[in-house]
């Protein structure tokens, strides 16, 4: 072995070991230091297993910020977050950078859930303050998962797995959540994983179906189109609500596979419909962040032979705001193809009016929460009237969702609402039932004279 170069600085064994246990970006300990700290505490308390707690802290929305402003800005945020964590943790605690935008905290004096949640709230508040990037400030939230030794695990690997399970549940519940691991949470996560596997198999086996709910013109009752709605009946689980399995597919990262399968099925079904009827289809927040969405959508429509001008894509305010710039670009690309865009669940978001200003839509769907109260709550009635008037001024079509009675249909029609949807006009139906519905309603209305129809809708008597 050649002799060491005396002109180069010599590194001692202790210094090498310190480097191996240190995160080079933030100066915090790394995963190896975390592991040794947890194992040391567990060994100290093996005879009398007094509890201690491990927390995982994840910065919500860090990746989009990193992508938007660059890795230098991202590294600065991580360094500021590390400094804040070191400054706020209780005496005797240890903070490490666990992985990427994730930190870990070992809390030797936190013994139970309430104390863990109290510390979690403090950490969440500290990390939610603005981050100074020189020429701009950005805000992030944090999600936390806690695991308490020995209840959540008697060794390092098991304890960390429990903390990761708790953190994952926090992320599933939305940004800025705190979860302390428990056996009930573990059971819930196992059920969720089983459901995920069943859903993946159902998609591959083509066992997730599409049903269609009619959307009608309230002025004359003519069917204008149908909204496609996902339906899944599992051989073992039975009927699984789309309110359960659609968010699950989005959380687990295969919503694109589910949506593309359903869009293809729905578009194929419409080939048997009259060509002037439109198809309304829900676009997920994940698809509004995926630059491939426009290409994938057009490929499906072309393969089926479906005219893009007959398609309406429904999006929610929440989906739009997940990544506003990307969403705006995708919306514009879709509209250039002739696809219309509807803002769904209008009125329930925190700033729905702002969305109408910032994005270009073709239609607004009034949330069923207002429609269901229209006969008993004058405030809901006035809100609907204001929405209709506003949309007239903005040249936006309006659909009222959740219409269940003759009286609601008539009231909405009198307020000037153009279209309606709900059980009053028809429940979601499979493909065969949809064709029967069209045979009974569409052709009948097409042959009737508009004057004779007046303001009558399917199932609504002229006197209504």
At residue 286 the predicted structure's pLDDT band, cuts being 50, 70 and 90, is: confident
d(CA 213, CA 402): 11
The string of DSSP codes covering 310-374 is GEEEEE-HHHHHHTHHHHHHHHHHHHHTT-EEEEEEETSSSSHHHHHHHS--SEEEE-HHHHTTT
**Of 247, 245, 242, 114, residue with least CA distance to 172:** 247
In the chain, count H helices and then E strands. 19, 16
**Structure confidence by residue, pLDDT tens digits, 354-363:** 667 777 889 9
User: 1.10.10.10, 3.30.70.270, 3.40.50.700, 3.40.50.460: which CATH number matches 13-181?
Assistant: 3.30.70.270
The size of the chain, in residues, is 464
- 150: cis peptide before it, omega within 30°? yes
Taken in order 300, 303, 308, 311, the sign of the CA dihedral is negative
Which residues, 6+ apart, have CB-to-CB distance to 256 below 8 Å?
A: 284, 286, 287, 290, 296
pLDDT at 204 over 90: yes
The per-residue pLDDT for 317 is 74
The per-residue pLDDT for 326 is 84
pLDDT at 173 over 70: yes
CB contact at 8 A, 60 and 140 = yes
Which residues, 6+ apart, have CB-to-CB distance to 6 below 8 Å?
A: none
At residue 126 the predicted structure's pLDDT band, cuts being 50, 70 and 90, is: very high
Least confident of 85-94, 124-133, 184-193, 199-208: 184-193
The token pair at 50 is 């007094």
Give the angle 27-179-176 at the CA atoms, nearest 5°.
Answer: 70
pLDDT at 260 over 90: yes
What would the mean pLDDT of 18-23 be, rounded to a whole number? 83
- Which string of b and e fits 86-114 if b means at least 16 CB within 10 Å? eebbeeebbbbbbeebbbbbbbbebeeee
Strands 340-346 and 363-366: parallel
What would the mean pLDDT of 257-262 be, rounded to a whole number? 95
The per-residue pLDDT for 444 is 53
d(CA 352, CA 349): 5
- Tokens 């209709």 correspond to 388
Which residues, 6+ apart, have CB-to-CB distance to 302 below 8 Å?
A: none
- The mean of the pLDDT values for the chain is 87
Domain boundaries along the sequence of the chain: 13-181, 206-453
What would the mean pLDDT of 207-212 be, rounded to a whole number? 96
d(CA 464, CA 304): 41
Taken in order 299, 300, 306, 311, the sign of the CA dihedral is negative
The per-residue pLDDT for 246 is 92
At residue 349 the predicted structure's pLDDT band, cuts being 50, 70 and 90, is: low
- % pLDDT > 90, the chain: 63
d(CA 197, CA 416): 46
The per-residue pLDDT for 11 is 57
At residue 50 the predicted structure's pLDDT band, cuts being 50, 70 and 90, is: confident
Query: What class has domain 206-453?
Result: alpha beta
At residue 453 the predicted structure's pLDDT band, cuts being 50, 70 and 90, is: very low
Type and span of the H or E element at 387: helix 378-393
Number of Cβ atoms within 10 Å of the Cβ of 16: 10
What would the mean pLDDT of 369-385 be, rounded to a whole number? 90
The per-residue pLDDT for 134 is 85
What would the mean pLDDT of 42-71 be, rounded to a whole number? 87
Least confident of 2-6, 142-146, 389-393: 2-6
Type and span of the H or E element at 143: strand 141-149
DSSP strand E in 61-100: where?
94-99
Number of Cβ atoms within 10 Å of the Cβ of 423: 13
pLDDT at 464 over 60: no
At residue 188 the predicted structure's pLDDT band, cuts being 50, 70 and 90, is: confident
């Amino acid at each position: 072995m050649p002799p060491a170069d005396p002109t180069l600085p010599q590194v001692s064994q202790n210094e090498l070991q310190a480097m191996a246990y240190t995160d080079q970006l933030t100066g915090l300990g790394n995963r190896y230091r975390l592991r040794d700290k947890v194992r040391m505490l567990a060994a100290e308390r093996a005879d009398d297993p007094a509890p201690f707690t491990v927390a995982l802290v994840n910065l919500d929305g860090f990746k989009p910020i990193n992508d938007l402003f660059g890795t230098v800005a991202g590294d600065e945020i991580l360094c500021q977050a590390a400094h804040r964590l070191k400054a706020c943790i209780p005496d005797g605690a240890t903070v490490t950078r666990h992985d990427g935008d994730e930190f870990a905290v070992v809390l030797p004096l936190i013994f139970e859930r309430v104390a863990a949640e109290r510390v979690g709230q403090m950490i969440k508040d500290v990390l939610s303050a603005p981050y100074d990037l020189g020429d701009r400030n950005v805000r992030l939230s944090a999600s936390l998962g806690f695991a308490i030794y020995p209840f959540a695990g008697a060794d390092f690997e098991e304890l960390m797995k429990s903390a990761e399970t708790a953190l994952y549940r926090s992320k599933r519940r939305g940004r800025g959540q705190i979860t302390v691991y428990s056996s009930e949470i573990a059971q819930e996560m196992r059920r969720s994983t089983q459901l995920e596997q069943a859903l993946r198999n159902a998609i591959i086996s083509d066992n997730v179906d599409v049903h269609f709910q009619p959307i009608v013109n309230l002025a004359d009752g003519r069917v204008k189109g149908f909204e496609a709605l996902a339906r899944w009946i599992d051989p073992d689980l039975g009927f699984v609500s789309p309110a359960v399995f659609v968010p699950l597919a989005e959380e687990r990262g295969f919503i694109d596979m589910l949506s593309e399968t359903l869009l293809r099925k729905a578009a194929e079904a419409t080939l048997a419909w009259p060509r002037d009827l439109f198809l309304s289809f829900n676009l997920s927040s994940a698809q509004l962040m995926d630059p491939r969405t426009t290409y994938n959508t057009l490929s499906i429509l072309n393969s089926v032979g479906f005219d893009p001008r007959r398609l309406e894509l429904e999006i929610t305010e929440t989906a739009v705001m997940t990544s506003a710039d990307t969403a705006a670009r995708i919306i514009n690309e879709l509209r250039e193809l002739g696809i219309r865009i509807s803002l769904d669940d209008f009125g329930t978001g925190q700033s729905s009016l702002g969305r109408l200003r910032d994005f270009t839509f073709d239609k607004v769907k009034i949330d069923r929460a207002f429609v269901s109260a229209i006969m008993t709550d004058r405030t809901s009635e006035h809100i609907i009237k204001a929405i209709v008037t506003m949309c007239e001024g903005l040249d936006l079509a309006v659909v009222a969702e959740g219409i269940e009675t003759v009286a609601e249909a008539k009231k909405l029609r009198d307020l000037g609402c153009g279209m309606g949807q709900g059980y009053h006009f028809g429940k979601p139906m499979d493909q065969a039932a949809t064709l029967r519905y069209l045979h009974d309603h569409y052709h009948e209305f097409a042959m009737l004279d508009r004057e004779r129809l007046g303001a009558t809708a399917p199932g609504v008597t002229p006197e209504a």
